[in-house]
Chains A and B, each alone.
Chain A
Amino acid sequence: MIDRMTEARGFDTFDLRYIGLIAAILGIGLLSIHSVTHDQDGGIAPYYLKQVAWICVGTLAFIVMWAWDYHTIARLAYPAYAVVLFLLVFVLFEGRTSKGAQRWIALGPFSFQPSEFAKLVLILVLAQYYSKAPRVGWLQRVIVPGLLMLPGLLLILKQPDLGSGLSFVAVYAAMLLMVGVRSQALGIALLFSVMLFPFVWEGAWGALHDYQRQRIMAFVDPSYDPSGKGYHALQSRIAIGSGELMGKGLFGGTQSQLKFLPEGHTDFVFAVYAEEWGFVGVLVLLVLFVSLIWLSLDIASKAKDQLGALLAVGIVSMLCFCIVVNIGMTAGMFPIVGIPLPLVSYGGSATIMSMASLGLLLNVKRRRLSLFY
């Protein structure tokens, strides 16, 4: 009954602010992508135009995820997870390899990354799991969802896609914390992880590709740099730092324009932006991101049920994780793990996934109780 009542809600100023923020961030992304790729051949179209196309598809996904009742969507979580797992297996055998990782499934001239969609599906699965029944005891609260996550995580790490794998774990951890873990359960989990650490380390380190190990080692010890992987991090720091207060202006970033900065339109787009727009521009972008997350957390806190709240928390924590880790890695605070900056980095899968997630968030808000207002 209440559902039906709230269904009638249209757009309000909240929605406009929310969509305005998303548009502003997307705009910054387009600008930076264009700036760094304007002299590059993007294939069938310039990169920024292709990104516009992705944003259009993303808008469609946004609308679908917004319009359709999230309870219905959540009911599709397990079948969707099965499809994603299938795609992840498929990509291991048939995927397109790029830079040593097999992450893409080719679809004509396009290719998409199942691991990006896996993130959203995982949020749906975990939210559905926790809201279905009162999960009590550490087995139900920690272990079972952990086991649910595990096949997806392992398949993603196998590609290997360290960034997506880490966001997987981050989403799991954030949702775990939000549903609440008894100190006892947390203690056991900690104990286990400490006990398992040598095995995990051995397994995880052994499973990493050479370039990933080097990236991590280049972070831990920059002088350990057998093949110049620290170069990446250094060029990124130089790009950001040389932007100083006001930046070098659009197309003025020598680091990115002269291709000293690799992956300028994808994972390192933040460095391009920081170089061209300086600390002032960086603060503007950070404020935009914080505002978007702030509004998203409002949605979480005012969700009408646990499913909605968990969905919101999952999406917010995933966005937060990607934003913080991406900016942190370009600024030399974290190792380089290959996570795109949501809504800013070039890339179809990530853009569509981010916009779909935000659509789902607005869906949660749309169906909240009028009681809160």
Chain B
Amino acid sequence: MLGSYSEAEYGDFQRRLILLRIGLLLVVALLALRLWHLQIREGAYYRDLSENNRTRQVLMEPARGLIYDRHGVLLANNVPSFSLYVALDEVKDREALIEKLSDLLELDPAFIRKKLGGKGGKLLPRKIKDRLTLRDAVLIESHRLDLPGVMIQVESQRNYPGGVTASHLLGYVGEVSAEQLEKPEFSDLHQGSIVGQYGIEKSFDRYVRGQAGSKRVEVDAHGHEKRAVVVEKPQAGNDLYLTIDVRLQKLAEELLGREYGAIVALDPTNGDILAMASRPAFDPNVLSRELTPKQWVEIVQDEGRPLNNRASQGQYPPGSTFKVPMAVAALESKTVSPFSTVTCNGGYQFGNRIFRDWKATGHGAVNLHSALVHSCDVYFYTVGQRMGIDLMAEFGKEFGLGQSTGVNLPSERTGIMPSTEWKKKAKKEPWLPGETISVAIGQGYVTVTPLQMANLIATVANDGVNYRPRLVLAVMDRITGNLQELPAVPRGKINAKPETFRLIKEALADVVKVGTATRAKSSVVTIGGKTGTAQVAALRTGPEESIPKKFRDHAWFIAFAPVESPKIAVAVLVEHMGHGGSAAAPLAKEVIEAYFKLNEGQSAGATDAPVAERVGATSEPL
């Protein structure tokens, strides 16, 4: 050997090389064993894992059905928007993710935590937020690598092109709540599903909701979709055609303007709601978004209570409009004849208390007709006193007071039609005779909703035949294209002679011609109606202008037209605007005139023509 390479060392070296070879073989055998274990023994298991790795279940939210007015004007549709989802099974560190997301999107961590903790399987992605701004969506996309399991989905988002128009009627949508998910009717939904939370969106939710689909998509580790593996298409909800005419609706809303109140217009011949306005209103586009708690508190605590549909949920004393059912009751119960008179000298003595007439000087001798035309209180005090509260209640109930009209809107209020029994139940006190006298002119315990009053005057206009107020004219099935009409629902007939209705309608026509509602007189069409002034505060001192607005009276006007064969019935309520004749009657006149101008040249029932055309277009018989 050479140099420093001694024989002994050379031998040692060769031996060590052999050891090295043995060692190497052992280590490689160990590696091969490990790989055999991974690939052969546990190969199937890892194959499963890799399949799961590349596919992910993604829900596809359905597009909600569209909502049109009776002439096919679009009221609610869907627009694409970005939604943020989190696939729980891909989240390694939930708290870190929550922190990152709350930083990026400026969301409350507790809110995200709650969303992530929602009900449902582990494989079901949770929706965290919808209607992301483009900026937020881009921000999330650019942080994709730091946000495992986070995905942005393009979804259809409810949109109301009219903004505040018909907002109370349409309602708004929102994520299904935890409490709702417990209920059977929401059993096929999941956390993050959008359901109607108010208005028609809520009451007709099962029509417009549609059905969610799902797809299994192959994704890479960055969460980018490579291709959809299985697609179960979402099924869009059915379209609704409402009974309202959006032009009339807008007019009614404009008429109310900044005042608080409601206007309801019905077709007395079938109960169709032609317009139902309530002010103040809200923007359903805002409400359908995920609101911050602060925004929500702001809306709920708004003094004007914009979420309240005053037409169906506002309960007011009917004031003198109550004299209309009172008149029917008085004639039918034979408490009075059309000719019997009462002398009005400006007050009505009951015990040691005097009930005043609105006209301090009195109306002199009045019969039923003139009592209605000039809204004589003393006449009705007398009639009410003779009838007694329970007989009044009986007729009030015939007209649907104190009970639901059956309109398909959530949280309709019933108002109160008091009776001795009612007081015993509600107040645990006996009925006092003096209370009957207040009720006789629509004060005291009696309260009604504008919708009830519209329904009442429609019933009178229709000679006692009553329909359930109808909101949806037809439902268009998205799959079959069938247009299914929802028929008018008769609710019965008031047991009264036609003569009675004739007399009362005559009187109501004279109310407009020569009585308290001359400001509703129209050159276009004959109008019959009744004014009402609902007292808010019992004590009144000084002239109207000196009273703080919140204590001023509510103005009522209920009307129908044309008097000869009524096609529209209207109830107008304006809060704290004083006399019905001055504040409410002109509004009703505008609505009625607009209705006849809009439908000029169309015969009765022709308003449904556009829907009928659509039926023809879909070539499916009903």
Contact = CB atoms under 8 A, between A and B. Distances in A.
Interface in A301-335: 301, 304-306, 309, 313, 316-317, 320, 324, 327-328, 331-333
B537 interface: no
A301 B14 contact: yes
B381 to A, nearest CB: 82
A239 B50 contact: yes
Interface residues of B, number: 47
Given A133-B4, A180-B9, A255-B53, A290 B42 contact: no
A297 B21 contact: yes
A313 B19 CA distance: 12
Interface in A190-242: 225-228, 231, 235, 237-242
B46 A240 contact: yes
Nearest to B222: A259
A102 to B, nearest CB: 21
A282 B93 contact: no
Contact of B226 (A258, A282, A297, A313): A258
A261 B25 CA distance: 29
B53 A237 contact: no
Contacts of B219: 258
A244 B16 contact: no
A245 B53 contact: no
B551 to A, nearest CB: 65
Interface string A280-306: 001100100110011001001100111
A18 interface: no
B19 to A, nearest CB: 9
Given A254-B50, A260-B221, A240 B39 contact: yes
A306 B4 contact: yes
5 contacts: A133-B4, A241-B43, A258-B220, A290-B28, A324-B31
Given A180-B9, A227-B96, A242-B47, A293 B32 contact: no
B111 interface: no
A177 interface: yes
B32 to A, nearest CB: 6
Interface in B166-223: 218-222
B32 A286 contact: yes
B360 interface: no
A44 to B, nearest CB: 24
A332 B43 CA distance: 14
Contact of A134 (B4, B28, B44): B4
B305 interface: no
B5 interface: yes
Interface in B1-33: 1-6, 9, 12-14, 16-17, 20-21, 24-25, 27-28, 31-32
Nearest to B5: A306
Contacts of A237: 38, 46
Interface of A: 131-134, 177-180, 225-228, 231, 235, 237-245, 254-255, 257-262, 274-275, 278-279, 282-283, 286, 289-290, 293-294, 297, 300-301, 304-306, 309, 313, 316-317, 320, 324, 327-328, 331-333
Contacts of B13: 178, 180, 301, 309
A260 B222 CA distance: 8
Nearest to A240: B38
Contact of B35 (A131, A262, A274): A274
Contact of B16 (A177, A239, A241, A243): A177
B148 interface: yes
B34 to A, nearest CB: 5
B35 A279 contact: yes
A333 B46 contact: no
Given A227-B92, A228-B92, A282-B35, A242 B221 contact: no
Contact of B17 (A254, A290, A301, A328): A301
Contacts of A309: 5, 13
Given A178-B13, A238-B46, A290-B28, 14 more contacts: A131-B4, A132-B4, A178-B16, A238-B49, A239-B50, A240-B38, A241-B45, A244-B44, A258-B53, A286-B32, A301-B17, A306-B5, A306-B9, A316-B20
B40 A131 contact: no
B350 interface: no
Interface in B278-330: none
Contact of A241 (B31, B42, B148): B42
Contacts of A133: 4
A241 B4 contact: no
A227 B12 contact: no
Interface in B44-93: 44-47, 49-51, 53-54, 92-93
Interface of B: 1-6, 9, 12-14, 16-17, 20-21, 24-25, 27-28, 31-32, 34-36, 38-40, 42-47, 49-51, 53-54, 92-93, 96, 148, 218-222, 226
Given A228-B93, A290-B28, A243 B222 contact: no
A165 B47 CA distance: 35
Contacts of B46: 237-238, 240-242, 244
A179 B43 CA distance: 43
A290 B24 contact: yes
A328 B3 contact: no
A179 to B, nearest CB: 8
B47 A331 contact: no
B220 A260 contact: yes
B33 to A, nearest CB: 10
A239 B28 CA distance: 20
A260 B14 contact: no
B146 to A, nearest CB: 10
Given A228-B148, A258-B226, A260-B221, A241 B39 contact: yes
A324 B93 CA distance: 32
**Residue in B17, B49, B50 whose Cβ sees the most chain A Cβ within 10 Å:** B50
Nearest to A234: B49
Given A227-B93, A240-B35, A244-B40, A258 B49 contact: no
Contact of B24 (A241, A260, A282, A320): A320
Contact of B53 (A132, A180, A238, A317): A238
A294 B220 CA distance: 40
Contacts of B5: 131, 305-306, 309
A297 B2 contact: no
B357 to A, nearest CB: 83
Nearest to A225: B92
Given A254-B50, A286-B31, A290-B25, A274 B39 contact: yes
B221 A286 contact: no
A232 to B, nearest CB: 11
Query: Nearest 5 pairs between A and B by C-beta?
Result: A241-B46, A244-B43, A242-B50, A258-B220, A228-B92
Nearest to B38: A241
